[in-house]
Amino acid sequence: MSIIQFEIKKIIERKSLLIFLVVTVLLFPALMAVGTHVSVHSNQISEGLFMEEVPYYIIRFSQSYFFIPVYILIFSSQEFSGGHVSRVVFLKSRKFYFASKIAYCCLISFLFSFLGLAALLLSKQFSGFTGLLVSPAFYVEYVVSVFISSFAFSILLLVLVFVLRTPWICFIFFIGWQTVEEIVFRIFYRLYNLKLVWLPFKSIQLLFNKTIEDTDGSYRRLFIEFDYILIIPFAYIIILILALYKYFLVSDLKSLSD
């Protein structure tokens, strides 16, 4: 059985995860379309800025507390607390399990890439704007951009899973970490005009937000508006995957007899 098949089989067999998946597929594009429609008709989004603001908000929404963090922090850490990891390591290997979680992050990223596209198409359709002309190339580029951003974000969350290993602790730590990071970033930017782009979550935002210093972001077209500063998040991901793998190889696991 391949690693991808292994993870897909687990998703199908875990009822809570499968139900949440169905809810996500149904609600995510719909909620974004409704939210965009309301914002347009309350004059919060103009036609000229529609394709800068809405694509950005879709990615931010996917990375909110209700979507990608639930898939990674809650469902993945349950495998540690429930003894699943120990069984897989016993039957397969640590290398196999680690690779399966990287594959899981890829699957979740693919999911939100296509949900992001669906949300963008629905939002555009029901926006009420008739002058929006978008090339097919933009949509292809957007799917790739969402995948890269989602994968990078998922890997960052996966670090918490492998280190903390308990669902509620992972989630609370994530909320606290993200909140503190945002406060620190704002303080340094307002007092010293310094952008701490090397902060982990802020560095991930560089992949899809070209104005991270603003509370209202603006979608970065990753390939057209590429900047050398984007080396930071890519370097983070490579280093984190390698370091996390080394850590997992030597870390203790729950005994199968527990």
**Domain coverage including residue 43:** 3-165+241-250
Is it the case that residue 206 has pLDDT exceeding 50? yes
Is 59 inside a domain boundary?
A: yes
Is 211 inside a domain boundary?
A: no
Is 183 inside a domain boundary?
A: no
Is 207 inside a domain boundary?
A: no
> What confidence category does residue 256 fall into, taking pLDDT thresholds of 50, 70 and 90?
low
Is 86 inside a domain boundary?
A: yes
User: Could you please report the per-residue DSSP string of the chain?
Assistant: --HHHHHHHHHHH-HHHHHHHHHHHHHHHHHHHHHHHHHHHTTSS-TTTHHHHHHHHHHHHHTSTTSHHIIIIIIIHHHHHTTHHHHHHHHS-HHHHHHHHHHHHHHHHHHHHHHHHHHHHHHHHTS--S-----HHHHHHHHHHHHHHHHHHHHHHHHHHHHH--HHHHHHHHHHHHHHHHHHHHHHHHHH----TTSHHHHHHTTTBS-TTSSS--B--TTTS--GGGHHHHHHHHHHHHHHHHHHHHS----TT-
| pLDDT tens-digit map of 111-160 | 999 999 999 999 999 888 877 888 999 999 999 999 999 999 999 999 99
Is 69 inside a domain boundary?
A: yes
Is 176 inside a domain boundary?
A: no
Is it the case that residue 3 has pLDDT exceeding 70? yes
Is it the case that residue 35 has pLDDT exceeding 80? yes
Is 192 inside a domain boundary?
A: no
How many domains in the chain? 1
| pLDDT tens-digit map of 54-91 | 999 999 999 999 999 999 999 999 999 888 898 999 88
